[in-house]
Structure 1
């Protein structure tokens, strides 16, 4: 983590933002909610304007979730590929919103579909970030049986990000669901091992293990808090750090 730059007032140089597909559907039960996509895009743009190099991974659960398809009798590999395609749709929606705000943005897919997205080439993606373009990594890792949590941790390591910022519905990691239990306690910091042992649900086990092996902190914050991401990058706000 770098010292705070007096001009940008941020302690981070390059980060990865991980959000779920469900975060894009607002109060709807399915699909994309354009005002919500626009609000998140504005948040990302405000961080980018601080001089932070930012990349993103967006889930696809608002359109299709592979595990649910598999549970309903669909062959798992096919279901997971369908889920990957859903993440591409979300990435294109976010790209459109960001470009509408004047940000330069690239969608980079782990599955080749050259007409709509760039193929994932690590050095090219790093160069995009160096040129201050926002990169949205889509289609997970390109492999079935891996979640977008794992894809986010993999890409964050490959891009040499200083942290993963995970936007959720709550302002950090709790010992139990704060929506169900009034006595739920929020952690300021929590170890990777405790997240795994206590099944705190930050990310799946593969993602947590990969972050632990590479000493990559995960910062969990509320995506519903206006200006929350920008505030945390400036050293303010409420969040939990997994490290």
Structure 2
């Protein structure tokens, strides 16, 4: 179903760190960061309040560091710092195109960004600013997926959107299995029981317990974010009703 006005008033967009690599093997692709910033601006210009959580896997992934023998908590803290770097890069790209942006970190680092304060973040969005939540939850052993679900709940978001490299949730990896079929809609429990790897289980459970729809779409499709907000294009929506 398509809409003439945005279907959600306030949303959180979860972007993986890998999405910002473009065709690189590591780090940030400036063109890709700027393209994502443009997608965000197009949605914000529709009157939608937008906040973001960005992963850090393009720089350092905590669980990978732990796999090499590094102490897990230390590795996770390093991963959190990677998310701060990505958040600052996105802030810079957004502000270059005229979008007022604030970065709030769950780990206080007052020289470069604000500490996470829920009421302040809500006020920023009410004033038309984009807020980027960095450093995950501030605690080791939690992923940025969980951080995204947590912040979406705290901000009173109408939906949690996950931008990926495919246009929804499939029965299998469509890049590896040409017979994979896309779901238009799913229930939270279906995602968990089928182990569909949309987000980690704690993130799905948080969204389910607070009745926040999760919308999975292709962030690499030009205009895809805005299309989803209008109920158009291809995506998978995960709710209690599916």
Asked whether the two chains share a fold, i.e. TM above 0.5, the reply is yes
Shift of 1:157: 0.3
Q: Secondary structure at the match of 1:164?
A: strand
Shift of 1:30: 0.2
Structure 2 CA distance, aligned partners of 1:235 and 1:198? 26
Shift of 1:234: 1.3
Shift of 1:235: 1.6
Q: CA RMSD in A?
A: 1.0
Q: Which of 33, 43, 49 is the aligned partner of 2:45? A: 49
Q: Secondary structure at the match of 1:55?
A: strand
Structure 2 CA distance, aligned partners of 1:95 and 1:166? 19
Q: Secondary structure at the match of 1:129?
A: helix
Shift of 1:222: 0.3
* Paired position in structure 2 for 1:171: 167
Structure 2 CA distance, aligned partners of 1:216 and 1:53? 16
* Paired position in structure 2 for 1:193: 189
* Paired position in structure 2 for 1:142: 138
Number of equivalent positions: 238
Structure 1 CA distance, aligned partners of 2:28 and 2:120? 29
* Paired position in structure 2 for 1:84: 80
Structure 1 CA distance, aligned partners of 2:28 and 2:189? 35
The answer on 1:34 being equivalent to 2:30 is yes
Q: Secondary structure at the match of 2:12?
A: strand
1:99-134: CA deviations, max 9, x gaps? Answer: 000000000000000011100111001000100100
User: If the length of structure 1 is used for normalisation, what is the TM-score?
Assistant: 0.97
Structure 2 CA distance, aligned partners of 1:194 and 1:185? 15
* Paired position in structure 2 for 1:114: 110
Structure 1 unaligned spans of 5+: none
Q: Secondary structure at the match of 1:165?
A: strand
The answer on 1:180 being equivalent to 2:176 is yes
Structure 2 unaligned spans of 5+: none
Structure 2 CA distance, aligned partners of 1:69 and 1:158? 30
The answer on 1:157 being equivalent to 2:156 is no
The answer on 1:94 being equivalent to 2:58 is no
Shift of 1:11: 1.4
Structure 2 CA distance, aligned partners of 1:28 and 1:165? 24
Give runs of ≥4 in structure 1 deviating > 6 Å: none
Shift of 1:12: 1.1
The answer on 1:220 being equivalent to 2:239 is no
Shift of 1:202: 0.4
Shift of 1:10: 1.0
1:1-40 to 2 correspondences below 5 Å: 9-40=5-36
Shift of 1:190: 0.6
* Paired position in structure 1 for 2:238: 242
